[in-house]
Amino acid sequence: MTQQSYPATRLRRTRVSAWSRALHRETVLTPADLIWPLFVCDGEGEQPVASLPGVSRWGVAQIVERAREARDLGIPCVALFPNTPPDRRSAHGEEAANRDNLMCRAIRAIKDALGDEIGVLTDVALDPYTDHGQDGLLDDHGYVANDATVDALVAQALNQADAGADIVAPSDMMDGRIGAIRAGLEGAGHHNVQIMSYAAKYASAFYGPFRDAVGSSGLLKGDKKSYQMDPANGSEALREVAIDIAEGADSVMVKPGLAYLDIVARVGEAFDVPVFAYSVSGEYAMIEAAAAAGAGNRDALVLETLMAFKRAGCSGVLTYHAAHAARLLHG
């Protein structure tokens, strides 16, 4: 009789018990990995966003409460996006440079209440302020003019920095805007204001609910394919990231997130810079729809998705599930 042969290595050994799984876990997710996007509206109170169940627009006073909630949950930063009233929108988006616009009022209110207890990240793009829904200024042919838009973006970023923003995050995808904004910030004495560049932002079908939330979906004519990236391209993202780092970005972002984890991984492997991903509105809405239909457990879907971002190499994730995920992580 010969002795039966058994595998020398049994990978299941380390999976038997919860304590062992925790001990051997390669990736750890904590509330400190999360950034919570918040929508600011005029007036007071709460305005639910129909296409984003569980997400609302908030008046400035209520935004402060959400920021306080984030701090208490261990979320280190909130990201602000304004729902600019229609009468404050224009072809050239001048409201973006108004020192008393919604964004600036919300920044000041959070900083007055919480100071450095939480970070404030602000969106730098003109689509919440234009009456045509594009991220930049249009020329006579309806094309988004790059250099004129960059000038407007610098003014917008300086306005937000003056109000107290800790991180300005250009999401417009204009060429050269990171260098121009960095020069503007340095020239104005904002040496410690960070730039998180939306370096690889794709022309995606996953943005619809976000545009509802900021009030631009009904305004947009055409698409944004002349400046946002082609979803078919991967290597181009590395060129975009390299340029933005050279121009002074402190961190970079890939957007959307879940459908572009390969891009997150490639950027992380190619560059020694913090990489973030935006788990966008369409991704959030799909998880919520799946949970509502009984197709999956909401809590498990949320945490597994966020873990995927961290496993791919993200330093952090912008997610509308941030507060919910933080509560789950606290147990």
SS (H, E, C) 177-206: HHHHHHHHHHHCCCCCCEEEEEEEEECCHH
| Annotation marks residue 111 as catalytic | no
For residues 271 and 242, is the Cβ–Cβ distance under 8 A?
yes
Give 319's strand partners.
279
For residues 30 and 309, is the Cβ–Cβ distance under 8 A?
no
> Of the candidates 111, 102, 86, 87, which has an alpha carbon nearest to the alpha carbon of residue 41?
102
Radius of gyration of the chain (CA): 21
DSSP per-residue letters across 10-52: -GGGGGSSHHHHHHT-S----GGGEEEEEEEESSSSEEE-TTS
77 three-state secondary structure: strand
Q: Using CA atoms in the order 229, 233, 238, 240, what is the torsion angle rounded to 10 degrees? A: -20
For residues 54 and 292, is the Cβ–Cβ distance under 8 A?
no
236 is in an annotated binding site: no
Which residues touch 181 (CB under 8 Å, ≥6 apart)? Answer: 124, 153, 154, 157, 168, 170, 195, 248
Q: How far is CA 2 from the centre of its chain?
A: 62
Q: List C-alpha distances in Å: 275 to 161, 235, 257, 314, 318.
A: 22, 16, 11, 5, 11
Q: How far is CA 244 from the centre of its chain?
A: 17
| Annotation marks residue 255 as catalytic | yes
Q: Which of 111, 224, 255, 310 is catalytic?
A: 255
Q: How big is the CA angle at 28 (ends 25 and 31), to the nearest 5 degrees?
A: 155
Q: Which helix (H) or strand (E) holds 287?
A: helix 281-292
Give the C-alpha separation, 145 to 41, whole Å: 28
Residues annotated within a binding site for Mg(2+): 240
Give the active site residues.
201, 255
